[in-house]
Structures are given as C-alpha cells and as structure tokens.
Structure 1
C-alpha cells in the first residue's frame, strides 16, 4: 500500500519549475565548497512530528487526516513505519530519528513495551536495508507518562530513576542494533517547579550519574556512539536544568562529561531561551560541542514551542555559516523536528513542508558558502579586533602582560581612539548574500 500515492520521488527541477512536488534549490549532488550538498546538510526525518503528531494544540483537538491506524496497535505501528519510510525515500533523505514511544505501543508493562520495541525495530531494520537509509539518532521519551511528573533521572522517586535507566539501556541497545550514529538526551521534565521542595544538588548529581552509566554501558557493548544533550529552557518545568547551550556546557564541565557529550540544538528552543539560534550554535562551537541540530523555528508572537518548518533564509544562512565554520556536523545532522500547521492537514502537506524546509536550508548553505568563500565575516572580525594583532594587544593575547604592566601602559596613554563598527552597513551587505 502507498500512503502518498500521488507523489513521486522528489527531484531537483530548479527555480523555474511550477511543480509543487519538486526541489527548487536542494540539489543533493551539487558541489558546495567541494562537497555534495547532501553531505553538508545530512537531512533527517523525525518520526514524532511526522507520524505521531495529530495537529492538536493547547486550544484544540487534532485536525490531521492520516490513513494508517488499525485496531491492532502493532499493525498500526507497522503501518506507520511503512508510511514513514515511503516519505523518507520520496524526499530523498538518508537519515531519520525517533523516540522509543513513537514507534511502538507501550502496553501494560515495561517488559511488554520492550517486546513491542523488538518487533518494530526488527521491522525498521528490514526497511533500512531495503531503502539504504541510516539512523541519525534515537532517544527515550521520559517525560510524557505520569510516572515522570517529577522528572526521570532527576526524579525524587528511586523506582522512577531505575525505570528510566532501563529505558536508556534499551535505547542504547536499539542504537547498536540499527547502527545509530548518536543518542540524544532531552530532559523534558528534568528541572523543578519551585526551590521550596527541590534538592538541586542531589538531582544534578543523579542526572550526571545516569549519563555516566549510559557512557559506561555503551562502552561495555562496544558501541561507539556520540551522546548528545538537547537544551531547552522551559515548558514544561518552570526551570529546566538544561536551560541553554551555556548552562548545558557548565553541567558537562562540572561533572567531567565533555569528552562524551556534545549538544543537539534546536532553533525553537533557542528562541524560548531568549537567544537567536546562531548564538546557541556559536556557544556550542566555542566549546567544541556542536553535535547536531533540530531544524525548526518559532512564531515569536506565540509563547510556546510551535516547532514550525524553517522557511527564513536569514536564519538558515547564519545556521549553515556556523556549521561550515565548525568543519561540518557529522556524525550529527539536520533533523526536521518540525510539524505542519493545523491548517495544513492533508497527507501531502507532510511532503510539501519538508520540501520547503530542505529548499530553505539549501539556500542558506549556498549563501553561507559564498560568505565563507568571500571571507566577508572573517574580514569584519579581522578589522574589529585588529588591535590584538600587534603591540600591546598581541602581548595580551600571548599572555605576556600583567596587571602591573598594563597599568603602566595605560598611565602613559595620551588618548584612546575608538572606531565605528558601521554595523548597519555590515547588515546591509550581509543581506546581499540572501538574494
């Protein structure tokens, strides 16, 4: 059975095409800075928003029209896998991601859940081999079920903590089974509502212990995996422990986990934290911790995680510039953690939305490559910080100065000459790369 019978495999047709079901900018094999576009972008399809999302929001029930549900939960799960891989291949993507509860029914016990996961991951493995695609990352949902109302690895309940450990172990086992490249930790409820009843030190210590157990287990089964933390500032907890990239890095440094973990950053989460996405990417890159990204953006006039498909070229250009400056993002990728709007309820809207996101990132890549090739941003930085390339500035950079020597230098200054940043001009020239 075809779930998208009226859609052929999406091909690149260029900007002149009138075909809705074609790429206008994403040409997988086009060379950009000497490397095929698909290798720069490493697009990934997300199972949850693509398959399990129903279009509901805080103010209304679901609107999506979907055609894969059966009375038997396992049959429904297999239908969803079929639909997912059909979409994956028609979009010409090579990677995918999922949470454990996305792909298999949880049943009445943890044992039943694990058995269901075995059945469905066996089926997924067959599909992967058939369609020659790869698992970018998988993760465990430890936030939706009521048992996680006080968190998972930060729960006040030791039984919940043990249950969480079992889910993480199963996630790592599945990752090895399917040849996963990364495993993500998203602390959906790892935080607190009020400090009046929170032992922050105990909770952070316990979360670090869980991460270390995950690393130890992966090593014990000889699974070479990149672990990722996905920061998010709020929603659902009042304060999340992984608030943003800087907070996550402080945690990793405190608990000596920087050799084992990098960050999976999301555009909408950056917005919720009061940052731009490029800020979060730059922070991660500064710490050598840029691991992977979730591609979406927020409607800034709404106050929650809207997870819209990325269609802003300004944003994707800055995103791809950071990735290019990072030397790429492998073994991570660009995962479309995005959902179609409630008004885009037809099955084929899933295809159209991903085409829009992929084309927007392709345009961002080409613009960022031109910026990098022209050395536009690097020249701006060289000009701004030129005082640190000679004389007293170079001595500061080289660590040759002291408070005493700098004080003596400052006392002999007759004047300090400042230079304008010309920031409006810089932003205007940057816009030229977006056309």
Structure 2
C-alpha cells in the first residue's frame, strides 16, 4: 500500500528501471514461431494456439459504410481478467500489477491482478505459471463480487470474449514485486492520467459494486424508465440488424496488401498488421514474436450525459460491429476514429461527433486519453470523454439511440454480453472520475 500517489509513482519508476524491455519491429513473414499460409496468406502460430489473423467480409451493415473487407484477429478462447479486492483498515483496495505489454506506448501500465489468455495460463508457451490465477479459476477462494463473460473490441477481434471477475479476500497473501495494493480513491486519481490504467483493468473495474465507487452518487436514485424498456430497445435492434460476416483468406481480402513486411490498406487507412520481436525479463516468457494490429490515429469514445431529476443519464447506441459475438451491443454515444471518416461525404460522419468535439470546456465532465489492449494492439489510443448536454435541446433520441440512467447500465453490465468494451470503459470513468 502507498501513503500517497507520489510514493506510487516512485515505485512505478523503479519497476521501469529494473525491467528489461525491448520491442523491435519485425517483418510478418519472418516472425519466429509464426508462419504465413502459402495458400490463404493467413498468419498462424506454429503451436496452433494464441490467435490467427485472417480476412473478414461484412455486408448489410447499417453503419456509415454498409460493406467492407478487413483483416481480423481470431482468438477463439476465453481469457481471464481478474482483480482481487481486500479491505485494509476498512478501506477497499485492489491488487494491480505494473505489466509490460508489447503494444503499450509507455511500456508499463497498471494491469489487473490476472490478465492472461487461455493459451498463456495453460502454458502453451512453456513459460512460468501465472501468479494468483488459482484465486480466480478455482471456486471457493474468497467472495466473488462480479463474474461475467464480456466481449472485446468488435472492430478488430472476431467473437472474442474474456472472463471479467472480481474476488474479495480476507486473508493475507504475498505481494510479488510487480504488484501493489491501491485504494479505490487512488485508482480514481490514476484514471485521470493518460496511458496509465490499462484497458483490461478498466473493463473489470466497471463491474465493481456501485457502493464502492467514489462517484457512486450518479449510480443511485430512481431510474425513470423501467429496465424492460431498455432491454426491449436493445433486443429490437439485435433482431432487426442485418449485418452478415464471412471469413476470407487474408490474401484475398480486398484493399489489403502485404508490403515491406506489413499488411496495409491500399489507401493507408484504418490500421496496419505489423510484426514485433519482444524481450521482457519479468514476463512468464522472456522473449517471443507476434503480429499486432496498429491503428491509424487516435479514436474518440464518448458519452453525452444529461441529468433528469438529479439522476445522470447517458445516451447510448445499439451498435453492430464486424466481430462482436452477438452482433449488436450497447455502445457509447460516439465511438469512432475520426480519421477513418475524413474521406467520406458529410452525411456519413458519425452522429454526435461534432457535438462532442465542439463541446465547451465547462460542459466536459472528464477528458483523458487511454490506451487499448497492449497485448494485441500496437499504440492503440482513444480519447475518452463525457459531455453534459442537459441544457442542449438539439440533442435528441433518434433511431438507434436511447437515454438510460447510469445505474441501469451498471445493473445490466453484471450479466455480460450487453455492453461493449468501450461502454464499459466509459462506465468506469463515470464511476471513478466524473
């Protein structure tokens, strides 16, 4: 535990200094342990584990563009994202770790107690065991506060899910050198720092009981609209959606070409698939190679917020993604990379993006740049923010969008598969920061 955050930052600097980290670009067709299929062009690990990169075709979408093809990361296994909670002198703390991921823009970020794919924790890589894993995957350890199977980024993953789990313990456990206990209030302050609390931590924290959150007031109070209305709206859009997807050979994916050891779009848009060689002395395996998805530019992920009788409401959308397991999930008001739409006609610009980007500073509840998952994405960052539009009559509930109380989102989030990862990340920021 730390008496203040200055002590924490000294500890984190020490972890940087003691670590041996190196991430070096490498051509996709010369990655150690990986191969490019000579027929399909798909990227696969020689063990058959971890993940593959192949092509995907999307048709029938009601998004700004109705048809496209793209590479996608296919990882058909459930990982574990788990946080231990323990009270010290009546104050709840979370056990987090300073973890290196090859895609992190600043090397070390705060990760959950356990952040491991199934291939990792079953030790396909033949490395060291994952610390604290048994406290999450074996029943009977501590008291579960939350446990849900949740989707990951549907734009880049195909049907990817991870188990988000929080377990409260009473007994003392050894704290390994890259781990630390942080109070809920301290985590809230650290969530205002760019690129520090990683995506996996943020999604798990969205499951914390509201009573433990410093911003719990916005999750309390009566929700004027019944739960059945929100579920009816979401189910309607799930059943009405006509998005179809089919897998393609990577070599046949329209508009994408392997050039100079990287897979790029012909107009150099959206993202690249790149290769890296990694050295990390404190990981379960100290060296490996892998492909990574590297986005072009920074995204915007935002909630529009209004207060009704003192209760905070957010405007959400029913959003279909290329790779979302159940096609449609509840998403933020705005979720896009503005650069991806710069070449589109004005009518295809994402709805409410201008409202968010042009918001007066005194209406912005929080505004912070967070990194996305550093194990698969290279330097992927989004600007997360919430804008109060209580007094803006121009913001209306159009088709596909729905006002709902923050507490309702927190309530249904406990069941998994309803909120996408970007909405869960914003929910965490609302509960901790705003």
Shorter-chain TM-score bucket reads under 0.3
Q: Tell me the TM-score normalized by structure 2.
A: 0.24
Q: Tell me the TM-score normalized by structure 1.
A: 0.24
Q: Which has the larger radius of gyration?
A: 1
More helix as a share of residues: 1
**Quick one: higher RCO (CA 8 Å, sep 6+), 1 or 2?**
2
